[in-house]
Structure 1
Amino acid sequence: MGGEEGVDGADIVGRSRELGFLGSFLAGAAAGTAGTLVVSGDPGVGKTALVQRACDSPAFTGWVFTGACLPLSSTTVPFLALRQAFRTAPSFDGDARPTLPKAGEPPNDAPVAIDTWMDELCSRRPVALVVDDLQWADESTLDVLMYLIAGPAERPLAIIATLRDGGVSDIHPLQRWLADIRRMPRIGWLHLGPLDRLDTGTQLGHLLGTAPHQSLVQEVFEHTAGNAYLNRLVVAGLDSGARHLPTELPADLKGAVLRSWRTLSDDARQLTQLLSVGGRPLPSADISAVAALDGSHGAVLALLYEAADAGIIESSTEGTHWWFRHPLIAEVLQQGLDEGERTRWHALFASLGESTLDHQANPDFESLVALADHHFAAGHTDAAYNRALQASAAAGHAGGTAEMLRLLRRAVALRDQLPGAAESPEALWDRLRAAAEDTGAQEEELEAVEALLEETDSVQRPLDVAELLVRRALLRFSTGREFLARGEMQRAVRLAGTDPGSWQYAYALAELAHAGLWKDDPLAPENALLALAAATDSGNPRALSYALTANSMAALLAGRPEEARALAERAAGPAAEARDFWALLHATIWRANATEAWSSQAFADLMRDGRWLLASLGSPHAYLAKMAADEASSYLAIGRWKECGLALRVALGSDPGAMGDVAARLAAARLAAWQGRQGEAEAHLARAEELFSQKSEFNNLSFAAVRAEVLLAADRPGPAYAAAMAGIETEGQPPTMCEWLLPLAARALADLAQSARDDGESPAELLALLHRLLGNFPAAFQESGTATELYTAQTAAFDMLYRAEAGRARGSAGNAREWIQTADACQAATLRWEEAYSCWRAADSLLLHGHSLRPLAATVLRRGLALAEELQALPIVAHLHTLAAGARIAAPSRLDAPTAVPAQLPGLTRREREILGFVVAGHTYAEIARHLVISEKTVSSHISSLLRKTGASNRIDLSRLATRSAAGPGPGAAPEDGPAG
């Protein structure tokens, strides 16, 4: 495998630490200390791309010479990589560039000549010499590199070589060369491992142009094991919305995977194909036995070593088992077999497995699983079914829950072909349901619950049906199908009511109360109390946990947070006892809700502690992911964006399930929008909306507010207003982030009103909408029952933000003071993004309304800039730099803010457009005049004309108008971007 050429965002995903390491290495060389770095890793892992990106960094100002060694089989070209590298070297008078002998020519003193020439180059500028694919280097190149590595320590020379793991045998001359340089000073080693699952998903997002489906991420990761090059090949040509890989792998991928395999002898190729059908690491004795059953009696061990020398397979650490260096090789080899040959070989492995198990009293579950798979692939239906059941039970006992689930799913499918099977369909579905619950496979569990409801008679077994109905409602909720269906809960209560002393009755009552509390059902608190009494009488820990949490929710909504917190704390114990991870997650969240606002450090800490508790109990990742996503949202709200990113890595590091995926995507969308990564923000939001089709019903999620924020960041205030209003008008309990909704709606109207004024239109209709909004909702929303000191400060800040936006919409001259007060309130409430935003609006308003406020404007501007840079809120950084340039306020920046580009405003002459560019850049009249070789009076005349034509009140207003128009409507803007009334 190869082909690491071409560097884009997809090529260096997940390599920030390694990039930093390379950057430090190059910086050391630039500072005058020679050094050598060997970057190793599997083929396709991204070595070349990483080194190229580091060397291309503006931070390294030296020359970069890059050459690649090639796998030439029939000839040797001495100094091949160095010839290629030195082609781009500069020439000087009296150039001492050495002459490198060609093949067949007598050798000269090339190492000394190159070293002398390198001294000359390094005396002028630092040099980075990069040699790619060192495993194919000729001995002449290795000699030169050895001489350079042993050269002066004080010259600014960085030597970087990339090396493939397993690229050469143990007796290859390169091994001795590597051993020799290990003993030399200033030698560094950097090993690149494969990408993890999360970084694989990020790379796919770059390649597909949108956030990928988790099912696709999982399949790609299983196929490629995180190899960046193979990730690129395996999704080549896929639609951006693909959920699964195609059955047939791409031809380019097969070619890359099989490049080395095709160099093997015919016997070695056939043996590796046979091994691929084996499906797992096998001892050489088993491989020999199956080969013998197939009629082959060759030297199997010699053929295995041949394949190992070619980098196709490898032996285990103990040297007892053999398998492929990369799992994709086995899959590609299997696909290359015809169906008959593949089936025959599976039958041979099944035969060997059966004879082996006959001599084992307690066969290991891996052998049973493999045997079940071979029987299935061979078409042995009876044996495949029976062995699947046996293997699934063994896997469950050994902790192999994923294998247990897979095999049970197969047994369910095979059961229909076996009318005489001893197990009933209901028994199989019940086993499948339990396995799915243990693994957090909520889609599979929902399928099993649906099947069990069809199989179970509600007249004969009402309690079982009641329990299944409640669980189905919870699973439909957690997979985004429906928000806590009260009809299901009511039916469950009626069925379980036939036995009021049953735990199922308490369970159903508790979840009916839970659903009702979200929708402001007046009977919900009473149902919660009835559920708690029934659960206590039943003694069932599962029912007790749900009932306690329902009462915690009721107490909090009634304004009794201490009682609510105590009830939720009590609920955690029985949830853990019952190993009901949904119940434990639910109890933890409501304990946190009763402790502090979710937009706080305290809430994040409780989510983290709850996640650790779940992990200690062996919780599936789906529940951990939801907890980590909520933790990320809390960190984000208070401006701790780095901690937010770490929590998102936990959430998305494995399959998060629908609920965890949506919660994480919404947090990721907010973070990306604030930091100016608009495409990423929109992709995350689109993925969240796709997962939860009825998103408006899910009051526990922040769809409305996040959608409004993302749309505002895209300069689409009309749809943003509609999104905010959708959340404002939601029935029942207000949605998560309800506090943001009214300020966001007012912000959208303010943007629209300003745009109308800029276009010479009346904002009267928009102001009428604003008047109606303020009349219907005079203060920002608050969540029920939350009254901590921090939350009170936050709601006060949002109320001030709401009113400041309203003042901006009206064009109030005194709006600046409102914005400064809002910034101060946001600071006190730890709402750091909103504080930075308020500083921008305050500075903008101050600079638009007279020079007497300039000192205050400069202070507010610098305050906002410092905070925005700390948050890496690049859009706000850009706006503040534009203001600073227009007002000629010194505002040094640690970040590269986007350069403001003046718009092509209609009606301007060429000279006026030219001068407008200087105005936006913050130049004085004198500077403009000097640059254009005209008088200051002429400049003044042109600017007066610009003010008159655009309707701007001053230079600051002119600059704002120009850059606002240049930004355009943003990606995906629709013609109907006005507000929905």
Structure 2
Amino acid sequence: MSARVMSPALVGRVAELEELREALARAPGAVLIGGEAGLGKSRLIREFATAVRGGETPVQVLVGGCLELGSDGLPFAPFTTVLRGLVRDIGIDGVAALLPRGDTGGLARLLPEFGEPESDTASGEERARLFELVLILLERLAERGPVVLVIEDAHWADRSTRDLLAFLVRNAESAPLLIVVTYRADELHRAHPLRPLLAGLGRLDRVRRLELARLSRADVARMVTGLRGAEPPSSLVEHVHARSEGNPLFVEFLLESGAEGELPESLRDLLLAGVQRLPEETQDVLRDASGGGTRIEHALLAAVSGLDDARLTRLLRPAVAAGVLVVDGDGYAFRHALIREAVHDDLLPGEHTRLHTRYAQALEQDPGLVPARRLWVELSHHWKWAHDPTWALVSSWRAAGEAHRALAYAEQLAMLSRVLELWDRVPDAAARIGVGHTEVLEQAATAADLAGEFDRGIKLATAALRAIGTGEGTAPRRAALLELRGRIGHQMARPGFVEDLQEAIGCLPPEPPTELRARTLAALAKYVRLTTDIPMAREAATESLRIARRIGSPEAEVSAQITLFCVDIDYERDEARLAEVEATAERARHQESLLRVAMIKSHFLEGAGRHEEAAEVARLGLERARELGVARSQGTFLSSNRAEPLVSLGRFDEADAVLRQALEQDPPVTTRTSLVVLAGEVALARGDLDAARGRLAEAHTSMGLKMQWLKTQDYFTVLRLEAAVRMAEGRPGAALEAVRGVLDHPGLPDDARYAWPVMVIGAAACAELGDAATIDGVPAFPLIEARVARMGVTGPAQEAHRLAFEAETARVRGMHDVDRWDAAATAWAGLKRAQPEAEALMRAGEAALSCGDHAGAARRLDRAAGLARDIGARPLAERIEAVGRRVRRRDDTAPLGLTPREFEVLRLVAEGHSNRDIAAALVISAKTASVHVSNILAKLEVASRGEAAATAHRLALFGPG
């Protein structure tokens, strides 16, 4: 058979096509399509694209494929293809119209047609902005009509492509954008880098996993019928199904090779059968083409093969006719990557080396044979396989520079790593690339930091420090590397990061002042302020600020001011200091600093109890983050700062929306902990105890991954959530175990803000447990009181917690202090904190009830019930209703001089209940129950509980039931 055999109809994929259509109807979302090689993933995509392009509502389908060179460092390859196609369809002006301010410069790192990058700097912020711009472009395109973005062969995706893909899937929010990803499931070995990405995305609600199965015998029969144009003999179907095992590609190959006759013994032979039937000269050209990847430009193939256009076309025509190659734009693609792999693997070692040498030479003679962004990566690839270490090293160095400019730090690191691997094999390596081995190590360490490869970053920085030594003139470079290693060490919670930063500062003399010293001091202050060594942090931040002002660096100045402000916040007196920081940032017009100001200002306002202002500042900060294209990086931190005051105000629906969106963006662990804790608090307030437990488990996992030292803001809030969950479970003893973490770690920064809420829960647990309230066998409440005695109070929020703690203290001691609970409720009302106000009013109502003030109890409970209902705090509303029922079933007086509460306790004593049973029935502590029993014995003038019960029965105080 000389002509290409392809099934005229897609067989066995009706359900998969329908799933894709449904996913498009529900967009935004994503579908991840996996399957072994040859199962028809690309054919499925082509059929789907054809169907939706011609539907009632035309859909734009953008397709980009990952290249086998991806692992060698060609960054963002499929997205470059997509952008190039988009420019071809709507022009550069059409693309510009979809972008903020019509500025395409931000995309220049992906496609040279957009001009020069807006900034020469490369940083995490620039990379985040690039990602944001791609998302904005796709979403605005989708606003005009549905868009399907297809990324094929993701098993070959480079790290930057995987990162951008994950970002898009997680953050597509409203426009009808469907992202479809295909990959070879059989390529995903245990350590394959795509596996964690697929696992992470697969957990999102908007993502579907679709695994293509092999064809059934019936499907194979239909496919054979379509290919042959007639009903096949049953024996042929059995034969093809058995040999192909239901793989559509192999079905086609088997029929091409003549399935009725003798069949190839191996898969390799099967794949090569169609090639081997072609003319010898055509086979030679296909061998040449196999060295260029699955797709190759016509001009490049002509240069490599040494054939003119006419002859090359004539020789390729049989391969196209036989379906071994397909025409793809201005080049050719192998019908399937497996064919290319089989042809390439069939080369002899000498042929393999000579072929890649010819590719490299052709590209050096005419760099225009491939797009500019691919040139150095391809040269590195071909010289490597040509076994020419000198030119592989030079090309890898140039490819690293291109990757850096494209903000593809993982690929930059890969290329620099190749330079380092080849270094000893090139005697004049330094002369070839213009820098020494140590400089390459330094650049690689920086790239590892930016790529998030922290382990490698520490190793590379350490190697560079050894190479630099401590000779004269090395101090600035040593300081920069130590500062880098210290920052990375902090990210990984590695011991020694503070010492690295201190040593870096020691390398830099105070005079003359330098920006590097200012930056290193600021880093030391920023990290040390998370420990108990506040004086060191304050001293470092103060010197950093002094240097910044001397050298006239507004960016360094505002960074130092922010760090100094955060070292020791006073929520009553620091508003003027905050205004000074904000003014400096406005003068500097440094966008990152302005975002940091929004973060600390919203943090300050929330801590000061100014919750509505805090929420608004964080909202405006989020808008600024969106304008700058970093909504999904710094923006997630601001989302935490926006959600926290919304939770404080009891605006749980708004908080939940903010938290869900932020968590779907896969924020860094340093931000995720806060988001998860807040989500747990919302779930707990609404009565979803299972969800709260889940969030608590997530928070503990985040803390375990995060750091070996304790950051107050995260550690204490996790303990606060744990204590609250245990109380909701009716386990006050377990709540005290969580409280112990705060007792054991006094003196951390911002201690009072985060310790007060936990101390209030601890006191409540002690009130519930009475004498049984212990921690490691020691009475718990004296430990809590001692901790509170060392805590200050700054601002109305902390004052409200203090008043609540005093009220709980009275409850621990068996007192019914209405006034203290009223004072706490008034303080919470002033802050518009509905949930704690309702809780305080409920306790005040209970206290009033115990004192016989039924009307006062009812008044407070009615107010509390309204507040709880308004914010949707169901468990709290149910507790308030339970107390209210006790009010409604009592008279204003009780016999024998007993209070109404004592009369109810006596009824339970008469029924034979213990103090613990009484406490559970009346929602009071066991100690309070004991006090009531003692008062009853005194008023009845009896010596024991039995005598009290006997008196009650003798006087018939309680009727039947």
TM-score by length of 1: 0.56
> What corresponds to 1:466 in structure 2?
479
Q: Offset of 1:369 from its aligned partner?
A: 3.0
Q: What secondary structure sits across from 1:730 in the alignment?
A: coil
Check the 8 A contact 1:822/1:838 in 2, yes or no: yes
C-alpha offsets along residues 529-577 of structure 1, whole Å, 9 cap, x if unaligned? 4443333333455544444444545685597525522442355369776
Residue identity matched to 1:455: A
Contact kept, 8 Å, 2:483 with 2:500, in 1: the verdict is yes
Please name the residue that 1:501 is paired with. 513
SS in 2 for 1:501: coil
Residue of structure 1 equivalent to 2:415: 407
Question: Where does residue 546 of structure 2 map in the other structure?
Answer: 533
* Distance (whole Å) between structure 2 residues aligned to residue 620 and residue 190 of structure 1: 24
Conservation of the 8 A alpha-carbon contact between 1:813 and 1:849:
yes
Classify 1:517/1:739 alpha carbon distance in 2 versus 1 (closer, same or farther; 3 Å): closer
Mapped partners of 1:459, 1:474: distance in 2: 24
Asked whether 1:391 is paired with 2:399, we answer: yes
Contact 1:395-1:401 within 8 A present in 2 as well? yes
Match of 2:801 among 794, 798, 814: 798
Q: Which runs of 5+ in 1 are unaligned?
A: 6-10, 22-38, 46-72, 74-135, 137-163, 183-188, 197-212, 309-314, 890-939, 963-981
Partner of 1:105: none
State which of 226, 235, 253 in structure 2 corresponds to 1:265.
Answer: 253
What SS does structure 2 have at the residue aligned with 1:777? helix
Check if 1:372 corresponds to 2:380.
yes
Letter in 2 for 1:396: H
Matched with 2:936 is: none
Question: Whole-Å Cα distance in 2 between the matches of residues 649 and 277 of structure 1?
Answer: 47
Instruction: Report 1:72-111 matches (<5 A).
Output: none
* 3-state secondary structure, aligned to 1:948: coil
**Equivalent position of 1:355 in the other structure:** 362
On the 8 A contact 1:502/1:538 being kept in 2, the answer is yes
Judging by fraction of residues, say which structure has more helix.
2
Match of 2:921 in 1: 957
Q: What SS does the aligned partner of 1:712 have?
A: helix
Q: Over the residues paired in the alignment, what is the CA RMSD in angstroms?
A: 6.3
Please give the alpha-carbon distance, in whole angstroms, between the structure 1 residues aligned to 2:333 and 2:853. 76
Give the 3 Å change call, closer, same or farther, for CA 506–868 of structure 1 in structure 2. closer
Letter in 1 for 2:715: F
Instruction: Please tell me whether residue 770 in structure 1 is matched to residue 798 in structure 2.
Output: no
Aligned counterpart in structure 1 of residue 607 of structure 2, from 597, 610, 614: 597
Distance 1:876 1:195, change over 3 A: farther
Larger radius of gyration: 2
Which residues of 2 match residues 629-708 of structure 1 at below 5 A? 629-645=640-656, 647-648=658-659, 651-652=662-663, 656-674=667-685, 675-676=688-689, 677-696=691-710, 698-699=711-712, 701-708=713-720
| CA spacing shift, 1:822–1:165, aligned 2, 3 Å | farther
* Alignment correspondent of 1:56: none
Counterpart residue number, 1:452: 464
Match of 1:948 among 905, 912, 917: 912
Deviations 1:308-360 (A, max 9, x none): 9xxxxxx7xxx6688999xxx97x99999997789998996785465245323
2:607 match: secondary structure: coil
1:125-148 deviation line (CA, Å, top 9, x unaligned): xxxxxxxxxxx9xxxxxxxxxxxx
Q: Which residue of 2 is the match for residue 916 of structure 1?
A: none
The answer (yes or no) to whether the contact 2:490–2:527 under 8 Å persists in 1 is: no
> Do 1:368 and 1:391's aligned partners in 2 also have CA atoms closer than 8 Å?
yes
Q: Find 2:488's aligned residue among 447, 453, 475.
A: 475
**CA shift at 1:681, angstroms?**
0.9
> Do structure 1's residue 828 and structure 2's residue 838 form an aligned pair?
no
Aligned partner of residue 265 in structure 1, secondary structure? helix
Residues 559-598 of structure 1 mapped to structure 2, 5 A cutoff: 561-569=574-582, 572=585, 589-590=599-600, 597=607
Counterpart amino acid of residue 712 in structure 1: A
Report the count of equivalent residues. 701
The answer to whether the 8 Å contact 2:571/2:604 transfers is no
> Equivalent of 2:866, from 859, 863, 866?
863
Contact 2:825 2:836 in 1 (8 A): yes
Q: Could you say what secondary structure the match of 1:796 adopts?
A: helix
- Is 1:476–1:482's contact at 8 Å kept on the other side of the alignment? yes
Structure 2 residue matching 1:458: 3-state secondary structure:
coil
For residues 187-206 of structure 1, the aligned pairs below 5 Å read none
SS of residue in 1 equivalent to 2:582: helix
Contact 2:735 2:762 in 1 (8 A): yes
Matches within 5 A, 1:240-259: 255=213
Preserved CA contact (<8 Å) 1:504 1:543: no
- Residue in structure 2 matching 1:852, options 851, 854, 860: 854
Identity of aligned residues (%): 18
* Distance in 2 separating the partners of 1:357 and 1:168: 40
Letter in 2 for 1:388: S
Find the aligned partners of 2:514 and 2:881 in 1 and give their Cα distance: 67
Write the mapping of 1:737-756 to structure 2, written as runs, cut at 5 A.
Answer: 738-751=752-765, 754-755=768-769
Deviation per CA, 1:47-94: give whole Å up to 9, x if none. xxxxxxxxxxxxxxxxxxxxxxxxxx9xxxxxxxxxxxxxxxxxxxxx
Alpha-carbon shift at residue 750 of structure 1 (Å): 3.2
Change in 2 beyond 3 A, CA 1:475/1:603: farther
Contact 1:382 1:418 in 2 (8 A): yes
Counterpart residue type for residue 741 of structure 1:
A
1:693 alignment partner AA: M
Q: 2: distance between equivalents of 1:346 and 1:838?
A: 80
Aligned-partner residue type, residue 468 of structure 1: L
Secondary structure, counterpart of 1:726 in structure 2: helix
- The answer to whether the 8 Å contact 1:836/1:865 transfers is yes
Structure 2 counterpart of 1:726, from 717, 722, 741: 741
- 1:599-633: CA deviations, max 9, x gaps? 63434444455565566667696555444444444
Asked if the contact 2:759–2:788 (Cα under 8 Å) also holds between the matched residues in 1, the reply is no
Which amino acid in structure 1 is aligned with residue 862 of structure 2? T
Quick check: 1:506–1:534 contact (8 Å CA) kept in 2?
yes
SS at match of 1:702: helix
Please show how residues 867-946 of structure 1 align to structure 2 within 5 Å: 867-869=870-872, 873=873, 875-876=875-876, 879=879
Distance of aligned partners of 1:857 and 1:179 in 2 relative to their CA distance in 1, 3 Å threshold:
same
Q: Quote the residue 1:128 is aligned against.
A: none
* 1:429 pairs with one of 421, 424, 441: 441
Distance in 1 (CA, whole Å) between partners of 2:317 and 2:299 is 13
- CA separation of 1:836/1:167 partners in 2, compared to 1, >3 Å: closer, same or farther? farther
- Following TM superposition, by how much is the alpha carbon of 1:365 offset from its aligned partner in structure 2, in angstroms? 0.8
Return the alpha-carbon distance in structure 2 between the equivalents of residues 395 and 377 of structure 1: 21
Kindly provide the amino acid, as one letter, of the partner of residue 694 in structure 1: Q
**Distance of 2:887 and 2:323 partners within structure 1:** 74
Instruction: Tell me if structure 2 keeps the 8 A contact 1:535–1:544.
Output: yes
User: Mapping of 1:91-490 within 5 angstroms?
Assistant: 166-167=46-47, 255=213, 261-265=249-253, 297=316, 301=320, 351-352=358-359, 355-356=362-363, 358-360=365-367, 363-373=371-381, 381-398=389-406, 400-401=408-409, 403-415=411-423, 418=426, 420-422=428-430, 423-435=435-447, 446=458, 448-460=460-472, 461-481=474-494, 485=498, 487-490=499-502
Which structure 2 segments of 5+ residues have no match? 1-11, 35-39, 60-143, 152-161, 172-177, 203-208, 216-245, 257-269, 276-285, 890-903, 927-961
Distance 2:191 2:882 in 1: 41
Are the aligned partners of 1:819 and 1:841 in contact in 2 as well (CA < 8 Å)? yes
The aligned counterpart of 1:62 is none
**Pair 948,560 (structure 1): closer, same or farther in 2 beyond 3 Å:** closer
Q: Where does 1:11-22 land on structure 2 (aligned, <5 Å)?
A: none
